[in-house]
């Protein structure tokens, strides 16, 4: 079998839409193109029935009630709606929120926005594996705390937070709990009841659905969560999200949710086996490569690895036959290392030389073996070219060298 390059191993950025999902969507563009809010004719009823079915599927996936699902354009919007919606609605109760420094920008930035409006945010720190300290969370909760927002698993390192424990703690203290579960859907079990989740964000394109559609789960009972909408308009989605529904997208997400639920065990087993094969292969070939994050509690499909003594950009150049993400948000103008990896205590240098591999269920063992070979070969080649590697071989302690800063 010949391998087609580049090989896609960036499934935490997005996934390929499942062909069954695409099939499901097509008829809602041309045939059943109605507006789900049209109550007077069959076009509208068809669309509404597609939306209802999708709502049912998304709810089933989360252990929720269909009436608790609000469709959005994705996780960014869902996070904004949860955070700003709670902040506005509960402002008379308090103006304090708790989150963490490793959250996605789609949580950090809405919170920063609130800080500018006079809200106060406690930013929890993480340890070297990206884990929060539950006692620190307990200590941060105050009488005026209205929301704890902590992601289910991190998009860069894969580290999973103990969601059920956080949910229980929030319940005990009477604080609402929002989780950004974008990376977790279809990859780790989610159950809003047993995990004590009040609000949960998801995005269809991370679980083999279409881009530009997602949802926010909003608890309806014990407690009933109320939200101020981000947008005012026709009052769709029980007033929480106005705007004509994206019927094809929602139908696609429903189908993706059904597949994620029904094929959960086999999908997780597959990506985990591929990830483990990849990680073990790379570590066997490059013993001083370092796996970042919590290797025990983490996403099954992701491995974030630092390669000491080789520089990140040259590495990406060397392994261009595989599509991955790097630890440096490397725009042409700046080489800013990842804030997530830095918060784990990685130096700029290691953060720069880290690669996020995230496999998906369309990857194969042959592709994994090809990537292992490629990475081991390129890192070895670049190391042989590296004066840092040479110094280390000579027994020089790099931290003691006097470098010429420029």
Partner 1 sequence: MAYSDKVLDHYNNPRNVGALDKSAKDVGTGVVGAPECGDVMKLQIQVDDSGRIVDAKFKTYGCGSAIASSSLATEWLKGATIDEAMQIKNTQIVEELALPPVKIHCSVLAEDAIKAAIDDYRTKQGAEAPAES
Ligand X SMILES: Cc1ncc(COP(=O)(O)O)c(C=O)c1O
| Active site (catalytic) residues | 330
What whole-number distance in Å separates Cα of residue 266 and Cα of residue 338? 32
Q: In angstroms, what is the minimal distance from the CB of 274 to partner 1?
A: 29
| Cross-strand pairs, 202 | 215
Residue 80 near ligand X by CB under 6 A: no
| Cross-strand pairs, 10 | 358
Task: Select from partner 1, ligand X, none the partner in contact with residue 31, using the beta carbon and a kind-dependent cut-off of 5 to 8 Å.
Answer: none
First to last CA, the chain: 49
Q: In angstroms, what is the minimal distance from the CB of 211 to partner 1?
A: 24
Task: Select from ligand X, partner 1, none the partner in contact with residue 106, using the beta carbon and a kind-dependent cut-off of 5 to 8 Å.
Answer: ligand X
Task: Select from partner 1, ligand X, none the partner in contact with residue 104, using the beta carbon and a kind-dependent cut-off of 5 to 8 Å.
Answer: ligand X
What whole-number distance in Å separates Cα of residue 16 and Cα of residue 21? 10
Residue 151 near ligand X by CB under 6 A: yes
Q: Which is nearer to partner 1, 284 or 396 (CB)?
A: 396
Choices 73-81, 131-139, 325-333, 343-351; region in contact with ligand X by CB under 6 A: 73-81
Task: Select from ligand X, partner 1, none the partner in contact with residue 347, using the beta carbon and a kind-dependent cut-off of 5 to 8 Å.
Answer: partner 1
Choices 71-79, 134-142, 229-237, 382-390; region in contact with ligand X by CB under 6 A: 71-79
Q: How many CB atoms lie within 10 A of CB 242?
A: 14
Which residues would be at the binding site for partner 1 (CB under 8 A)? 309-311, 313-314, 317-318, 330, 332-333, 335, 347-349, 352, 384-390, 398, 403-406
Choices 68-76, 135-143, 320-328, 351-359; region in contact with ligand X by CB under 6 A: 68-76
Query: Buried b vs exposed e over 355-393: b needs ≥16 C-beta within 10 Å?
Result: bbbbbbbebeeebbebbbebbbebbeebbeebebbeebe
Task: Select from partner 1, ligand X, none the partner in contact with residue 156, using the beta carbon and a kind-dependent cut-off of 5 to 8 Å.
Answer: none
Helix (H, G, I), strand (E, B) or coil at 342: helix
Query: Buried b vs exposed e over 58-93: b needs ≥16 C-beta within 10 Å?
Result: bbbbbebbeebbbbbbbbbbbbbbbbbbbbbbbeee
Distance of CA 265 to the CA centre of its chain: 20
Residue 157 near ligand X by CB under 6 A: no
* Phi, psi of 183, rounded to the nearest 5 degrees: -85, -15
Among 74, 110, 252, 360, binds ligand X (CB under 6 A): 74
Task: Select from ligand X, partner 1, none the partner in contact with residue 2, using the beta carbon and a kind-dependent cut-off of 5 to 8 Å.
Answer: none
Q: Which is nearer to ligand X, 76 or 304 (CB)?
A: 76
| 328 neighbors 337 (Cβ within 8 angstroms) | yes
Among 183, 195, 338, 363, binds ligand X (CB under 6 A): 183
What whole-number distance in Å separates Cα of residue 357 and Cα of residue 156? 9
Residue 200 near ligand X by CB under 6 A: no
What whole-number distance in Å separates Cα of residue 1 and Cα of residue 3? 6
Residue 75 near ligand X by CB under 6 A: yes
Residue 130 near ligand X by CB under 6 A: no
Q: Which residues bind ligand X (CB under 6 A)?
A: 74-76, 104, 106, 151, 155, 180, 182-183, 203, 205, 214
């Amino acid at each position: 079998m010949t391998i087609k390059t580049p090989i896609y191993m960036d499934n935490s950025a997005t996934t390929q839409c499942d062909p069954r999902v695409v099939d499901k969507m097509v008829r809602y563009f041309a045939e059943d193109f109605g507006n789900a809010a049209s109550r007077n004719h069959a076009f509208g009823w068809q669309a509404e029935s597609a939306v209802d079915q999708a709502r049912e599927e998304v709810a089933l996936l989360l252990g929720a009630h269909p009436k608790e699902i609000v469709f959005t354009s994705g996780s960014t919007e869902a996070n904004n709606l949860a955070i700003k919606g709670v902040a506005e609605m509960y402002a008379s109760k308090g103006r304090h929120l708790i989150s963490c420094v490793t959250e996605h920008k789609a949580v950090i930035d809405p919170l920063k926005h609130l800080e500018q409006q006079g809200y106060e945010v406690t930013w929890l720190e993480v340890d070297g594996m990206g884990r929060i300290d539950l006692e620190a969370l307990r200590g941060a909760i105050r009488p005026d705390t209205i929301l704890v927002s902590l992601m289910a698993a991190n998009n860069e390192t894969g580290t999973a937070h103990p969601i059920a424990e956080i949910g229980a703690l929030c319940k005990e203290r009477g604080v609402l709990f929002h989780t950004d579960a974008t990376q977790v859907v279809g990859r780790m079990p989610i159950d809003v009841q047993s995990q004590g989740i009040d609000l949960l964000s998801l995005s269809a394109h991370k679980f083999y659905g279409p881009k530009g559609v997602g949802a926010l789960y909003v608890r309806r009972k014990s407690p009933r969560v109320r939200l101020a909408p981000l947008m005012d308009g026709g009052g769709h989605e029980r007033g929480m999200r106005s705007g004509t529904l994206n019927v094809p997208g929602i139908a696609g997400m429903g189908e993706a949710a059904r597949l994620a639920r029904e094929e959960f065990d086999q999908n997780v087993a597959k990506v985990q086996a591929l990830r483990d094969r990849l990680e073990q292969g790379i570590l066997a070939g490059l013993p001083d490569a370092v796996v970042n994050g919590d290797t025990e509690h983490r996403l099954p499909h992701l491995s974030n690895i630092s390669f000491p003594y080789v520089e990140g950009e040259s590495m990406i150049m060397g392994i261009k036959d595989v599509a991955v993400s790097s630890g440096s948000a490397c725009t042409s103008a700046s080489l800013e290392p990842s804030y997530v990896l830095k918060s784990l205590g990685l130096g700029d240098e290691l953060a720069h030389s880290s690669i996020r591999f995230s496999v998906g269920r369309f990857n194969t063992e042959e592709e994994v073996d090809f990537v292992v070979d490629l990475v081991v070969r390129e890192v070895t080649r670049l190391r042989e070219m590296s004066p840092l590697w040479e110094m280390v071989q000579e027994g020089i302690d790099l931290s003691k060298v006097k470098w010429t800063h420029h």
